[in-house]
């Protein structure tokens, strides 16, 4: 696996055939690995990006304490068959004078957008930049971030981007908790409380899910139904101490 830190360097690395990109913020786990494996199966060249994108963190969020371990991530990506790991500096992505933002206006407003102002603007902007830098034919995302997928689909459509979004199912731990880099923040006791979220979503009913979370005494940002690519998805976000977790289950519709 080649580790590349600049756009110029990346341009010089041969990328044969169909190129698949898996954008990540690192702290890699089996959820990310499922995306690498899908890309490995479907593409000739697999590129992953490792970039903790400050632009998608709202003020007061966990940007500074977000888990970072490039050595472990390098090992995981290499073992999963990634060809190129693109790990740019902040200046490489947001050089001095940077002033261009992508705003998917309506889809970015509710749910995550309400609780994380500016989040999707940061996500859409960095993804468009990564698409332009890496030039993949396919880009791989997790269904765990359902609204992110909806926002990115809209961007691809509205800006006529010549690429296919591939969306892979949420990978869960044996106890049902969706894998997330942020799970590392949870104590054992907090983790047990966090299990209320997948349990609530499994009711497949927003009213019952909200009631279940309230009974469990879990602080809930929202539980609601999101339309995503012809599917209805029950999405939820909770806070356990200072950790914010999201999850969802698809209610019906086309498989993603
Ligand atoms: P992140 O590093 O958190 O920005 O995530 C990078 C990609 O991995 C995103 O497309 C996420 O949706 C995806 N992802 C994160 N957690 C999971 C999971 N548990 N299962 C599948 N994909 C995931």
Catalytic residue status for 32: yes
Collapsing DSSP to helix, strand or coil, 250 comes out as strand
Q: At what angle do helices 146-158 and 119-134 cross, to 10 degrees?
A: 60
> 185, 191 in Cβ contact below 8 A?
no
What pLDDT score does 42 carry? 98
Collapsing DSSP to helix, strand or coil, 172 comes out as strand
> 207, 201 in Cβ contact below 8 A?
no
Q: Tokens 């765990």 identify what position? A: 144
Question: What global pTM score does this model have?
Answer: 0.97
What pLDDT score does 100 carry? 98
* Nearest CA residue ID for atom 18, ligand 1: 31
Tokens of 132: 């332009």
Give the separation between CA 64 and CA 244, rounded to whole angstroms: 15
Catalytic one of 29, 32, 54, 119? 32
Tokens of 67: 């888990």
Q: Are strands 138-142 and 84-86 parallel, antiparallel or unpaired?
A: unpaired
Tokens of 24: 């990540």
Give the separation between CA 113 and CA 123, rounded to whole angstroms: 11
- Helix, strand and coil in the chain, % to nearest 5: 40, 25, 40
* Nearest CA residue ID for atom 22, ligand 1: 142
What pLDDT score does 254 carry? 53
What pLDDT score does 252 carry? 85
pLDDT in tens, the chain (256 residues): 999 999 999 999 999 899 999 999 999 999 999 999 999 999 999 999 999 999 999 999 999 999 999 999 999 999 999 999 999 999 999 999 999 999 999 999 999 999 999 999 999 999 999 999 999 999 999 999 999 999 999 999 999 999 999 999 999 999 999 999 999 999 999 999 999 999 999 999 999 999 999 999 999 999 999 998 999 999 999 999 999 999 999 998 654 4
What pLDDT score does 143 carry? 98
Nearest to 224 by CA among 193, 246, 196: 246
What pLDDT score does 114 carry? 98
Residues with CB under 6 A from ligand 1: 24-25, 31-32, 34-35, 141-142, 144-145, 168, 170-171, 178-181
Give the separation between CA 166 and CA 193, rounded to whole angstroms: 32
């Amino acid at each position: 696996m080649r580790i590349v830190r600049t756009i110029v360097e990346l341009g010089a690395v041969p990328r044969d055939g169909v190129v698949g990109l898996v954008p990540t913020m690192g702290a890699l786990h089996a959820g990310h690995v499922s995306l690498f494996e899908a890309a490995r199966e479907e593409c000739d060249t697999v590129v992953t990006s490792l970039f903790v994108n400050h632009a998608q963190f709202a003020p007061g969020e966990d940007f500074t304490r977000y888990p970072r371990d490039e050595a472990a991530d390098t090992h995981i990506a290499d073992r999963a068959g990634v060809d190129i790991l693109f790990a740019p500096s902040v200046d490489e992505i947001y050089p001095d004078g940077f002033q261009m933002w992508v705003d998917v206006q309506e889809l970015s407003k509710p749910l995550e957008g309400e609780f994380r102002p500016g989040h999707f603007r940061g996500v859409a902007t960095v993804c468009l930049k990564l698409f332009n830098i890496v030039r993949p034919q396919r880009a791989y995302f997790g269904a765990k971030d359902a609204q992110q997928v909806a926002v990115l689909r809209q961007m691809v459509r509205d800006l006529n981007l010549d690429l296919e979004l591939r969306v892979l199912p949420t990978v869960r731990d044996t106890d049902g908790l969706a894998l997330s880099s942020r799970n590392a923040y949870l104590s054992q006791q907090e983790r047990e409380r966090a299990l209320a979220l997948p349990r609530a979503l499994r009711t497949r009913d927003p009213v019952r899910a909200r009631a279940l979370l309230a009974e469990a005494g879990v602080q809930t940002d929202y539980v609601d139904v999101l339309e995503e690519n012809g599917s209805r998805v029950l999405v939820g976000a909770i806070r356990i101490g200072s950790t914010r977790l999201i999850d969802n289950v698809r209610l019906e519709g086309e498989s993603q």
